[in-house]
Amino acid sequence: MPPTDSAPQKSNGSGSRGGCEQLPRELVTLLIPSTEVVAQTISGHPRFFWYFSEPVDVPIVFILVDTVEKEIIFETRIDSGQVGIISVEVPENSPELIANPPGLEEKDRKIYNWSVTLECDRENQSRTFYHTSSIERVSKSPELEQKLAAVAANTNSSTSELLHQQAIIYAEAGAWFDALDALYQAQAANPNDSSIRADFIALLEQVGLGRVVQ
């Protein structure tokens, strides 16, 4: 799997601990390439991923926030969490993430924050366990559009093959969330394809997240 543009320095999202002292420190791992770089997507309604190292039996809340307008784009509550990789996709009826055009200065870029919160005590918000990270949507380059169109034009490809090829293109373009999502869906479509599994593991390992698929 080709490397993404966002070379990682760390692999965990930032966390804060309140009244969940009994929970292990490494319980939640956000699947992001780095805490030092804002991960990118080309999707207006991306899918987000995180990993639970142990079963979770407290309410889980996912929130996506527009940091400029100070508005919640999407919020959902999950009753329980199993060990392994969990994903949440922003539904089509939610506001679409706005893409930053190429060359936009950092101070003018539209950045969104997303978080995974464990509500150990719903009545006391200080007694929570949360991880948070950032995401930005970027415009598709003409080169990326051409590559995706060429792959889509191959009508002989199965769904899993198409998603696998798209994932490689996304990874080359630095679109972390899209590459991870495409590989995740490709695995679901064809769980017996070892090459898809290998690239999924490789993508995570190159940013220090190999432990979540061990």
pLDDT value of position 122: 65
CA distances from 131 to 2, 102, 134, 165 (A): 28, 29, 11, 31
pLDDT for 41 = 97
Q: Is residue 6 assigned to a domain?
A: no
Task: Express each pLDDT in 196-206 by its tens digit.
Answer: 999 999 999 99
Q: Which long-range contacts (CB under 8 A, 24 or more apart) does 189-193 make?
A: 189/158, 189/159, 189/160, 189/163, 190/158, 190/159, 190/160, 193/160, 193/164
Q: What is the model's pLDDT at position 80?
A: 64
Q: At what angle do helices 142-152 and 159-173 cross, to 10 degrees?
A: 170
CATH code of 163's domain: 2.60.40.3080
How many domains does the chain contain in total? Answer: 1
Q: In angstroms, rounded to a whole number, what is the distance separating the alpha carbons of residues 49 and 200?
A: 13
* C-alpha dihedral sign at 75, 62, 166, 143: positive
Name the 3-class secondary structure at 110. coil
Tens-digit pLDDT string for the chain (214 aa): 433 443 332 333 344 444 566 777 788 999 999 988 899 999 999 999 999 998 888 889 999 999 988 899 999 998 767 899 999 999 999 999 999 988 888 888 999 999 998 887 666 655 567 799 999 999 999 999 999 999 999 868 899 999 999 999 999 999 999 999 999 999 999 999 999 999 999 999 999 999 898 7
Sequence-distant (6+) residues with CB within 8 A of 105 are: none
- Answer whether residue 2 is part of any domain: no
Pairing status of strand 71-78 against strand 47-52? unpaired
Tell me if residue 119 falls in helix, strand or coil.
strand
Short-list 199, 179, 212, 214, CA closest to 11: 212
Say if 65 falls within a structural domain: yes
**Residue 86 lies inside a defined structural domain of this protein:** yes
**Domain-embedded: residue 201:** yes
Domain for residue 170, yes or no? yes
Enter the tokens of residue 193. Answer: 């394809």
In a domain? residue 8 = no
Distance CA 84, CA 134 (A): 22
Q: Is 150 within a domain?
A: yes
Give the global pTM. 0.86
CA pair distance 53, 70, nearest whole angstrom: 32
pLDDT at 24: 75
> Does residue 60 contact residue 116 with C-beta atoms inside 8 Å?
yes
For the chain, give the number of residues: 214
Q: What is the pLDDT of residues 37-75, one digit of tens each?
A: 899 999 999 999 999 998 888 889 999 999 988 899 999
Domain of 65, in residue numbers: 14-213
